[in-house]
A and B are shown apart, each in its own frame.
Chain A
Amino acid sequence: MTGSNNPNQGERAAPPNVARADLSSNDPYAILGVERDATLRQIKKGYFALVREFPPETEPEAFKIVRAAYEKLRTAESKAQTDLFLLRPPTPLTPRKRRKKLNLTVSPLDMICYLEGLSELAEHEFSGDYRPIKL
């Protein structure tokens, strides 16, 4: 986000959406710095916060971007239309209700597994056991 030339900037803290606004994005929500599930009222509020940051007189290009993004979200109809063809984050993952139990038992079987691992049971290559044939 580019900085503003507004000499009064800094006198009061910028609204959160102004800090998040990404004017280089293709996503109007990102441009306005609001969440995807923002209400029309929140969108409007976010828009005006940005207009104060980028007034048309001093920041005409930035204003144009912000205005275009707002236009896409300003009514329920235009928002629904915009949402339809925007990239969508995946549906949040529902945490597992129950985790699968780890098998942490310790038994003599473990020792046999160990010994088996050292034996020919663990080997795969037996071409040395091939024999020639004579007919």
Chain B
Amino acid sequence: MSRRKKQKQTKRKQKIKRISPVKEGLKAFQAGSYEDALKAWARLPSSHAKLNEAKAECYFRLAWQQPENAIDHLQTAQKLQPADGRFAYHLARLQHKSGQLTEEVANLYESAYQTEGEFAERTAYLQALLKMRMASKSAVAQLQKTTIWEQLTPSQQDDLQSVSTIWNKQSLSASPEDQFWLGVEAMQRGNKQDAKRYLTQASHQLKTAGLSHYYLGIIAAQNEQTQEAAKQWSAAKKSGFQHPHLDMNLGEIYHRLAEEHIEKGKIEEALKVANEAARYKDDKQFRDLHAYLKQQIAYESAQRGEWRQAKQLWQSAEKQAGGNFRLMCNLALACEQEEAFTLAATYWRKALRQRPRKANHPDAIGDEQVAKLWQRVAKAYAMVEEFEEALSVQKNAVKWQPDNLALRIELAEGYLENARFQAAENELNRILERDQNYIPALMMMGELFAESGYYWQIFQAPHYWEKVLEIDPNHVGARQNLATFYIDQGDNHLNGWFISHPSALEAYQNALKFDPNNPMALCKAAYIHLYFLEDEATAQQYYDQAITNHPQNIEVRMLITIQWLAVGDGDKAWAVTKQAEQAMPNLPHHFYLAIADNLLNNDATERIQPWLDRAVEKSADQSVYLEIGSMGMMNPQAIEIGEKYLHIAIKKGIDVARANMLLGIYQSRQKNMKEANRYWDQAAKQAIKDKDFELVEQIEQSRIMFSSPLGGLLGQVFSGNLDPDEMIDMMPPELLAELFDEDDDDWEDDDDWF
């Protein structure tokens, strides 16, 4: 940090320290942070009148900020400023409002009243109302003897007088126009007919609407008019009328209305009123009804395919009334529909936990269903690639149905796919202990040994598949597996240290024993006869059999062509290709490229051109030039061919960037770095133009790799491989770090090449 900055900070700190608690409090007060203001003033050593006034004001304002502590704050304010009528008035008002009808509250009103002025006037009416509550019907008579009565407005006096008259069962001297008090009087006397008539009129007046609607609601409810009662009480509520029974009555009347709608099958209507009821009611019976309605609407939505809405309603129902088996199953299905599989698994698990345990319950499920549900949970976990969780859940499924071998096979398959070979073998053994002839287990055991076992275990595989054939001699899978196994064995005899064509032939013939028309076994056996035994006639028999049985198999035709080329018979090779073209007029250009590639790999470059020409001829697009170019570049014997086709690609404007990149690599391997850089520059320029930033990165990697001191060595190590990504994948991390070390100054400034 600079010296100037430090000095500035110190000054700021000193400034803060210098601000007095008085000012700090004032600032907080003005910002509406009354608690902070009180904290600041509490630091002052002594209290004086102005400070107490300010503190009282803070507590007064805090009362409105924190309604839950309002009474406490007002009490503090009143203690600090007992002469201020505001605090006594509001404290009494709040306590009165909360139902504290005590002498203490009356005294508070009295002290506010004694302060004279604004709050004395405002207190008078509330004092009168409190006395009405406390002293009942004689209150007005008593009030009239006090000065309070004089403080009331004529309208307030009239209202109190009317209440007192009705309460004392005296005759009301209201004029016929005064519909409201006439209605109230009729209601108090039990004359519902008159009450309804007067109160209906009075309900249109803003001042008298509240109580009028409330009473009209009572009349409707007494007449079992649920809808009307709900309407009237709802109007009373809307007008702001407060009554201890109003909320409770509203909740119950809406509940009843919802029940009536359900009975009539009007589920949506029922839900609407239940939503209203929920504002006033929260007992268990109501929660059950409300949740039921949500579930019903959700069920209908889901059936229409509106899964999102259904899910939200079901979740709301669960939150309100707790879950149950049906609800959890539906939620799991909705989550599956939305492909939220982890959540689906959670709901299936909840469904399992909440399934009815009593056998006679309509939703009771048996062990088989429990197992199926666990299986579904496992599938949900597998969908989100939580394979370990899926396996552990699948084990639960097996626990519920230990004799369900198909279920156990799924578990074994899970182990196998998770590379838990020993667990898979153990599970398969457990299955075979239950049924030693269970074909899926025998098949999988064979696969386990063939694919995942150690070298010496591989030879156990055929034993299981042969056992399958003992049980079911026509089992296609077992035959195919055995054929593949022996073909692999045959191939092993032709590759590696100890080449033995008789053993290879024996293996291929073994394969044909199990799968007599296996195209690969036929072609490979033919090759032994053609190449090693020079028995063309026998070879041709195998070829004929392969082609007759698999006339549309491109791989067979390709293999036969390559095999003829391998023994140097180009004419036969062409003949096979022509036959293939006749059988499959749309033979893809890859067919020819594969043959050309094979020729390259067998150093037969001189015979490659006709196949390349045919590939170009057959290719649907011109990217074939780049394909041939790459192919040539990867083979040290065919560099010139590669170069030629890459130049054609550039000339034709086909994937110019990539073609230049490959040519750059080729030049770098020729130690012609100047030329290499020229190609890379062009490649990068084009790639940027094409907005192919992945390729830009690849070009950069190529340049780094092949320009570095290690580049020459790399060129030799990866002599056939020109794909920089693949080369990077194959390199040890230490070498990569060495190559792409960003902190190395020599390379840091080298990124301006494009």
Residues of A within 8 A of B (CB): 25, 27, 77, 80-81, 84-85, 87-91, 93, 95-96, 99-106, 108-122, 126-127, 129-131, 133-135
Contacts and interface: CB of A to CB of B under 8 A. Distances in A.
A103 B163 contact: no
A96 B285 contact: yes
Closest CB pairs A-B (n = 4): A90-B295, A103-B245, A114-B211, A88-B326
Interface stretch (B213-221, B516-524, B645-653, B741-749): B213-221
Contact of A113 (B208, B243, B376): B243
Nearest to B248: A103
A96 B190 CA distance: 31
B729 interface: no
Nearest to A98: B285
Interface of B: 22, 25-26, 29, 50-51, 53-54, 57, 60-61, 64, 86, 90, 93, 96-97, 122, 125-126, 129, 132-133, 136-137, 159-160, 162-163, 166-167, 184, 187-188, 190, 207-208, 210-211, 214-215, 218, 221-222, 229, 240-245, 248-249, 252-253, 255-256, 259, 262, 283, 285, 288-289, 292, 295-296, 299, 302-303, 324, 326-327, 329-330, 333, 363, 365-366, 368-369, 372-373, 376
Query: Binding site of B, secondary structure by majority: helix, strand, loop or mixed?
Result: helix
Contacts, number: 159
Nearest to A89: B299
Nearest to B50: A135
A25 B26 CA distance: 71
Given A117-B242, A134-B53, A135-B22, 14 more contacts: A87-B330, A90-B326, A93-B262, A93-B288, A93-B289, A102-B221, A102-B229, A102-B252, A104-B222, A109-B244, A111-B211, A113-B243, A115-B163, A118-B159
B218 A104 contact: yes
Contact of A110 (B53, B215, B221, B283): B215
Contacts of B214: 110
A113 B184 CA distance: 13
Contacts of B187: 106
A81 B129 contact: no
A92 B51 CA distance: 67
Given A96-B285, A134-B50, A114 B241 contact: yes
A87 B93 contact: no
A116 B242 contact: yes
B126 A111 contact: no
Given A84-B373, A133-B53, A103 B126 contact: no
A119 B126 contact: yes
Given A87-B333, A114-B241, A116-B242, A130 B57 contact: yes
A6 B242 CA distance: 69
Contact of B57 (A88, A104, A131): A131
